[in-house]
Amino acid sequence: MKIMLISPKRDRWDSKRYEFWEFAFMRRVAGIGLRKYTGTPLALPIMASLIPEEHKLYVIDENVEDIPYDVEPDLVLLTFFTTSATAGYRIADRFRAQGSIVVIGGCHAAMTVDETLEHADAVATAEAEAVLPQIIKDVETGNLEKIYSVGNMNRPSMDNLPTPRWDLLKLDSYFYPSIQTMRGCPFLCEFCTVRVHWGNKYRTKSIEKVVHDVRCLTKAMGRKGFMLIVDDDIAADRKRSKEMFRALASEKIKWLSQGSIAMANDDEFLSLMINCGGTRIIMGFETISGDSLAEMKKNPANDIKNYPKNILKIQSQGVALVGAFVFGFDHDKKDCFEETTNFIIENNIALPQLFILTPFPGTALTKKLQLEGRILHTDWKYYTGSVVNFIPKNMTCQELQEGYYKAFQKVYSYKSIYLRMQGLWDSWDRTAKRRKEDLLREKIDILLMNKNFRAVAYSYDTCYFPDINEEAHYKRKLNKMLQSYLVENKVYEENAAMMAV
């Protein structure tokens, strides 16, 4: 059979708007030419690893290449999250009209089975490792069923998983090729899809398997760039993670991942993490309101009164936190925007990520809002995390939307970027346990990423109007800072080259 695996590009409903993870600035302006998207869709190389060799495979991520419709595959396997669902459905309809069999899987399909079946011959609600071999057999014998699922007890063990076929992806097109070492989460955060899709228990890969997979990915990348470890909390099982960090230290990789603030209480964890290249952590703070935190049933490690101390503890060792904050909880009032932006700036968060609460299908939040009749629509292309799709409690939709834009634009104003960077560099220069030249490269990268996220913030309707002269002043200071780092970096590189001669 000809089998095509596809991850669609999200539908744009406004061509001028960027979303966080598209890295439009990094691609177009910072001159990092080859890269077209942030992370690799890991479901593609995983599915490819499960398909017997006799089939002809086409592996397509639409974010980096066009879909070759003229191939006329026998079977199309589509994978996407909610944000890309409208695009995914359109692609599915087109292939079905051409006569291909279409199967759709992933967290969105699993939560919207009836809707997805309007566009697919079958839906997989389970992990590919558990159902894809059967799907292929059933297609071959003409016995395809409508739904492929497994019970909670039959989730695949992480140790028997085949190594993803990263070699079939165009890895040069990504900033961060992805790899996974654990699945599942026992926590109950009501807006989150992870527990419902991946189960309420952590399942982990053995350290040997992680090292093996890292080596395969590094080989496929052909470079020692950043990897995205897609685990939902790298600090979930600190004992295991420490063992993993020790084993990864000799692999000389650089990586970013997600982690809870629990890591701040463990000096050994932090130092092992940094030592094995883990210097960027996406951290879901979500809110600085205790009431909102209780409302969303967040991981108890999120202890707001100790946020400043713990942020300083983590970042001052040379880590850049990608700090995620969400607006629109029922306890959020109109002052939440101002308070959160001030908090982000005062605590020098390296890369703030601001979102509007979004009722993704299947979550406890969505069930609650549905019962209360507060969901405005399910046109999934607006489910990006930057658009209001439900009726908030303590403000109007417009107030939430504009408050969000304003907060996002304020933390990425030139003045705020400058203040955050100055504060961060100050702590890095005093206490970071990293080589000076590594810190310098990291500073350049973090500055460019701030410019990138600034471009995202200001691609939305303008709601924040700072003093123009003050902004021009800080823009000059930031550019001067970047320029001096670039010159200094060149000096390091030339010295290194001389040492090598």
Interface ranges with ligand B12 (CB under 6 A): 10, 19-21, 38-43, 46, 77, 79, 81-84, 103, 105-108, 124, 127-129, 131-132, 135, 178, 180, 192-194, 198, 230, 232, 355, 360-361, 384-385
Q: Which is nearer to ligand SF4, 64 or 185 (CB)?
A: 185
The interface partner of residue 244, options being ligand SF4, ligand B12, none and the CB cut-off 5 to 8 Å by kind, is none
350 and 446 Cβ atoms separated by less than 8 Å: yes
Q: How far apart are CA 455 and CA 24, in angstroms?
A: 8
Q: Which is nearer to ligand SF4, 221 or 324 (CB)?
A: 324
> Please, which of residues 170-189 interact with ligand SF4 by CB under 6 A?
185, 187, 189
> Please, which of residues 285-344 interact with ligand SF4 by CB under 6 A?
299
What sections of 99-143 are H helices per DSSP?
107-111, 113-117, 128-141
User: How many CB atoms neighbour CB 99 within 10 A?
Assistant: 9
Q: Burial, 492: exposed, middle or buried (Cβ in 10 Å; 0-12, 13-18, 19+)?
A: middle
Residue type for 337, please? F
Q: How far apart are CA 78 and CA 124, in angstroms?
A: 10
User: How many CB atoms neighbour CB 25 within 10 A?
Assistant: 20
The interface partner of residue 205, options being ligand B12, ligand SF4, none and the CB cut-off 5 to 8 Å by kind, is none
Total number of residues that touch ligand SF4 (CB under 6 A): 10
Q: Which is nearer to ligand SF4, 200 or 462 (CB)?
A: 200
Q: How far apart are CA 274 and CA 462, in angstroms?
A: 38
> Please, which of residues 216-235 interact with ligand SF4 by CB under 6 A?
232-233
What sections of 222-329 are H helices per DSSP?
238-248, 267-275, 290-296, 307-315
**Any contact of residue 195 with ligand SF4 (CB under 6 A)?**
yes
Q: How far apart are CA 450 and CA 419, in angstroms?
A: 12
Tokens 């399942």, located at residue: 203
Smallest distance, Å, CB 193 to ligand SF4?
8
3-state secondary structure at position 425: helix
Q: How far apart are CA 196 and CA 431, in angstroms?
A: 41
**Any contact of residue 5 with ligand SF4 (CB under 6 A)?**
no
Smallest distance, Å, CB 259 to ligand SF4?
10
352 and 346 Cβ atoms separated by less than 8 Å: no
Smallest distance, Å, CB 301 to ligand SF4?
9
The interface partner of residue 385, options being ligand B12, ligand SF4, none and the CB cut-off 5 to 8 Å by kind, is ligand B12
Q: Which is nearer to ligand SF4, 360 or 414 (CB)?
A: 360
Q: Which is nearer to ligand SF4, 184 or 318 (CB)?
A: 184
Smallest distance, Å, CB 10 to ligand B12?
4
Residues at the interface with ligand SF4 (CB under 6 A): 185, 187, 189, 192, 194-195, 232-233, 284, 299
